Amino acid sequence: MNFFIFSILFFLVLAAFLVISSRNPVHSVLSLISVFLLSSILLFCLNVEFLALSFVIIYVGAIAILFLFIVMMLDIKIGDTSFDFLNYGTLSYFISFIFILEIILPILNLNNQPSVLSFETYKWIQWFSELESFSNVQAIGQLLYTYYFIFFLL
C-alpha cells in the first residue's frame, strides 16, 4: 500500500509541475484536473472517502471545468504550434519504463517477504471490529438524514 501512495504522490507532483510549466493553457487546465483526481485517489487510499468525493464533485466537476470553458472562450493564440515528437522520445521512454516497472514489481514480488516499510510485524488493535462497520460516507449520510435532516432540507 505504501508503494501505491508513493507512486500517486510522484505522479501528483509531476502533474502539478505540468500545471505551471505548460505553455498551452488548455493543457495546463487538463493537468490541473489530473492533480485534483490524483489527490482524490490519494484520499481514497487514506480511507477519507467523503473528502475524496468532495474533491471530485467540487473541484473537477465545477471549478476545473469552469476554468476550461473560460480558457476555451478566450481563444488564446499560442505562438509556437510546431511540435516535434523526437525531442520528447527519451522522456516518454523513461516515464513509460518507470510506469511499467511500478506495475510489474508488485506483481512479481520475487522474495515473497514483506517490505521494510510494512507494519505487519506490529500488534494492532482492531478498533473497526469493536465498532459498527460504517464507512465515512455512511456515517455522514446517517447523521444528515436522521438528526440534521431539517438543516439538510433547508
Q: Are 23 and 78 in contact (CB under 8 A)?
A: yes
Mean pLDDT of 82-100: 77
Q: What is the pLDDT of residues 123-139, one digit of tens each?
A: 666 666 656 667 777 77
Tell me the whole-structure pTM to 2 decimals: 0.53
Q: Is residue 111's pLDDT more than 70?
A: no
Mean pLDDT of the 115-119 span: 53
Q: Which domains are present in the chain?
A: 2-76+85-108 (1.20.120.1200)
30 vs 36: CA distance, rounded Å:
10
Tell me, what's the pLDDT at 89?
73
Q: Which long-range contacts (CB under 8 A, 24 or more apart) does 114-118 make?
A: 115/2, 115/3, 117/2, 118/2
Residues in the chain: 154
pLDDT of residue 63: 82
